[in-house]
Structures are given as C-alpha cells and as structure tokens.
Amino acid sequence: AIEALLQRGKTIEDARLYLPIGCYEPAVDGKEAGCTMNLTLNLAKAMEYALHDGVDVLSGQQIGPHTGDPYAFTSYEQMQDAYYAQLDFLLTRSINYIAAHERQWPNINPSPFIAGTIADCLARGKDIGQGGPHYNSVGCVGAGLANAADSLLALKKAVYEERRYTMADILAALDRDFEGDEAMRQYLINRTPKWGNGHAEADALAKEIADHYCALVHSFTNARGGACQAALFTLDYQWLFGRATAALPDGRKAHDGLAPGVGATPGRDKKGVTGLLDSAAKLDYTQTPNGAVLDVMLHPTAVRGEEGLAALVTLIKTFFARGGYALQFNVVDVDTLRDAQRHPERYATLQVRVTGWSVYFTTLPQFEQDAFIARQVHGL
C-alpha cells in the first residue's frame, strides 16, 4: 500500500500515515480528499461489447465504439485488441463524466467547515471540492477481472487454438444464453484454463488486463487537479454489474454475478486455496493505490485447533510476503448455509463477510445467499 501511494505522488512520511477509507481504500489522514469510489467500472462489460461490435446486448443500444465484426476476426489478437479498445472507451468516457460531476461539487455541496480540518485548504483558500486539500484523488474501482480473463482465454483456446467451436457457434450460444448449449457451456467452464488456479497462462492474461486497466487509470488527472487511482474490488457491484451483463464465453449466464474482488469466478478455483493465492499474488498491487482484496472461503475444519490456526497464519503471511494487498475470510460450512436458507429462524446470528462489511446471512437476498453457497470452500 505504501509503495502504491508513493508511485502516485505521496511522500514517504504521508504514505506511512495512510488509513483505510470505507473498506480497503488508503488515504492520507488529514491531508487527502480521497473520493475512493467516484468511479466503478465493469471489466467484463467490455468483453460483451467486443463480441458485439460495441452493442449492449441487454438494451440493444450501440454504446461502445465499432471495433469490428467478431465473425470476421481471424486471430485471437484481433479479439483481444477489440476488448482493450472497448475497455479504453468505457474508462475514458467514465472519467470524463466524473470530471464533469466534480466541477459542480463546490456549487452543489460547499463544505468550508470540513475544509478547515484538512491540510492546505485554508492556505490555498479553496474548498475541498475545489482542490484545496494537499492531495485530491479519485478512485476507479474495477470489477469482474476473472470474468474478463476467463472469457478471453476461453475464446483463445476453444476458437483459435483447438478450433473446437467457431466464433459463430459461441456467439449463437451467448445470444441464447446457452439455452440448448449446455455441453458447450460445460466445456467452456471445465475445459479451458481459469484464473485462480495458479495456471501460468490464465495468470499472465489476468495480470495483463489488470496492468492495462491500471496504467490507463493512472494516465488521467481528475477535475480537482489530483490523481486518478486504480482499485480492484467489487463490493456489491459484483451483483449489480452482473445483472446488467449478458452471457460471456467463460460460461457465465446473463444477469449472473461477477467474480468477487481479485478472486476467481465462484466455483472455478479447483486447485485449493494455495492455487487461488498463487494466482492473486501474480498481480502488481503497487498499481492499485485505491485498494484491492482477495476473498477466501475456508471450511471450519481447516482452521480448527492450534494446528489449523498456525496454518491460517502461515497462509496470511505467505500472501503478504508475495506482495498481496488485502485478504479477508469467510469460515463457513456450506451445509450450514443451506440449512440456514431452509430454517432462517435457527440462524439469526449467523454472519458472513460480504466484502468490506459483514452481514447476517439470513437477511441477504436469495441470489446473494446462493452466490455464497456457490463459492469454492477450501481446506488447508
């Protein structure tokens, strides 16, 4: 976290005094107006647009730029270039929208009292919405990294390398939301590499997407004259964005949730918790100064007793020794969660960690409960 802040212009003295705003987003205490979630970006949506020449499938509108007819793509590189072009468009347009909003901040919500508590506002004679604080950052939160990487790699393997399916086959199945194409869907899910398993090619692709996204975020300056800072976490956007995203080549159906944080798509991490951490540790977290988190599900037997506790501590230390940013756990028995769905009156105090906060499991909507149950529960 400190190195990430240093790369975005903080001094070493200030970087060491960061505190987390909200959940995982670091900001300098007393010196920074850190708008850490001004912008949230669906990394998987760019995949949908790339497969439909910029058309939003669920609305039928031309939202993204024309990046070519995917039926005519003769190489994986063309498909990947289309994805990055759509991603760049979405991010650039979103940054511009946020900048326009920020320019209205001093008029809509002047805050002279708060400004008097933040360093440099009085000296500069500027409110917090005018760039008065010593540091003025805007956070850009990217969600759905695993879905984007898994989808690109599925196309690379199934269409361009193995030639098991044509692009026309894939697009037709996506348009039908895999109705009548379950065999293809299971192939895409189970027979192509997935992020979260320590697979070299999948890890390299996910890192490439993350690096591309972070570099573009950091190329912008916000409307208050400060830095735009990249993040990789999801909060409840994994469901909000999921409901607005069509079917994808990773086997995900339309409206289903996206992958949480920097983790794997639920149920796709088959190599245990060490495989999951191995993939997550490949990302360069010095490029996520606005935060990133890995969610881990462990079975209660994995951490039982002194031996289990020692294993958990070793797991945590290893992740951070390899450059990890943030790690959080749910220690749950899936059978208990299913029983809580059937008999909520018996589990009024059962808590789960959704993201940066914890909630009572029985108060969650059905689809969020199902999403928790669908996640891979690991041993140690």
Catalytic residue list: 23, 25
**CA angle in degrees (0–180, nearest 5) for 189-191-192:** 80
Q: Which residues of 132-162 are buried (b: 16+ CB within 10 A; e: fewer)?
A: bbbbbbbbbbbbbbbbbbbbbbbbbbbbbee
Tell which residue, 185, 181, 159, has the closest CA to residue 72: 159
Dihedral through CA 112, CA 118, CA 120, CA 123, nearest 10? Answer: 40
Which amino acid makes up residue 46?
Answer: A
The Cα 42–Cα 357 span in angstroms is: 21
Place of tokens 């105090």: 349
Please state, in angstroms and rounded to a whole number, the distance separating the CA atoms of residues 93 and 192: 33
**Both tokens of residue 271?**
């190599």
Q: Is the dihedral of CA 79, 84, 85, 91 positive or negative?
A: positive
Strand partners, 378: 298
Sort 66 into a burial class: Cβ within 10 Å, 0-12 / 13-18 / 19+.
exposed
E strand or H helix that includes residue 39? strand 32-42
Distance in angstroms (rounded) separating the CA atoms of residues 333 and 336: 5
Instruction: Answer for the pair 62, 54: CB distance below 8 angstroms, yes or no.
Output: yes
- Could you tell me if residue 323 is left (phi over 0), alpha (psi between -120 and 50 degrees) or otherwise beta? left
In whole angstroms, give the CA distance from residue 273 to residue 2: 26
Find, among 149, 325, 154, the residue nearest to 233 by Cα.
Answer: 325
